[in-house]
Amino acid sequence: MLGTLGCLQIQKVQVERSTPHYLLDHKGDILAFDVSRHGTHFALLRRNNELMVDVYEEKDRKCKHVAGYTFDDKRGTGDVCFYVPMAVQREIGEILVVADYSKNQLLLLDYMSGCGHLETINVNSPVSLAKNPDGRLWLNCKVSGEKSEILCF
């Protein structure tokens, strides 16, 4: 045992050398990374002062780059505060949500159908979120005026 953090006991864990691992070729500074329940890898990174999202599919213990998106970012660093990949299926495919607190915007992307940027939703307040076990994302924000709304994707 290494110690305690509050009531949480911290223990040293042995990592098996046979554990599968991947070296994804992200040429940039990775800001956030996540994996959907379908085995899709998402990385939000900064490359040459541009914000980019790289998408990888995992099949047979190999990762293949399937999509990439670039966001116009001339505002410096640290503008995107959180990045949420969504694993909910819609008619048009899986949806990515990128929330930009500096502009109070939600960017919706569809990487499955190849149409890229779907929609930008302007919000008047910071966004709090919750995610269902089935992958649906609930966003709590003020979309117009003083009325607080909950959006579900």
In tens, the pLDDT along 55-64 reads 777 776 667 7
Tokens of 44: 């939000």
Per-domain residue ranges of the chain: 27-152
Quote the pLDDT of residue 59: 72
Who has greater pLDDT, 71 or 62?
A: 62
Other Cβ atoms less than 10 A from the Cβ of 95: the count is 22
Phi then psi dihedrals of residue 56, to 5 deg: -125, 140
Q: Tell me the pLDDT band of 90, cut-offs 50, 70 and 90.
A: very low
130/11 Cα distance (integer angstroms): 29
Residues facing 149 on adjacent strands: 141
- The DSSP secondary-structure symbol of 126 reads -
Q: How many Cα atoms are found within 13 Å in the side-chain-facing hemisphere of 5? A: 3
Using a cut of 0.75, tell me whether the model's pTM lies above it.
no
In tens, the pLDDT along 2-47 reads 444 444 454 555 544 444 555 566 677 776 666 665 666 767 777 7
Of 125, 130, 85, whose CA–CA distance to 104 is shortest? 125
Between the alpha carbon of residue 46 and those of residues 31, 34, 82, 104, 134, the distances in Å are 7, 16, 14, 20, 30
Over range 61-87, report the average pLDDT: 51
Q: How many Cα atoms are found within 13 Å in the side-chain-facing hemisphere of 15? A: 4
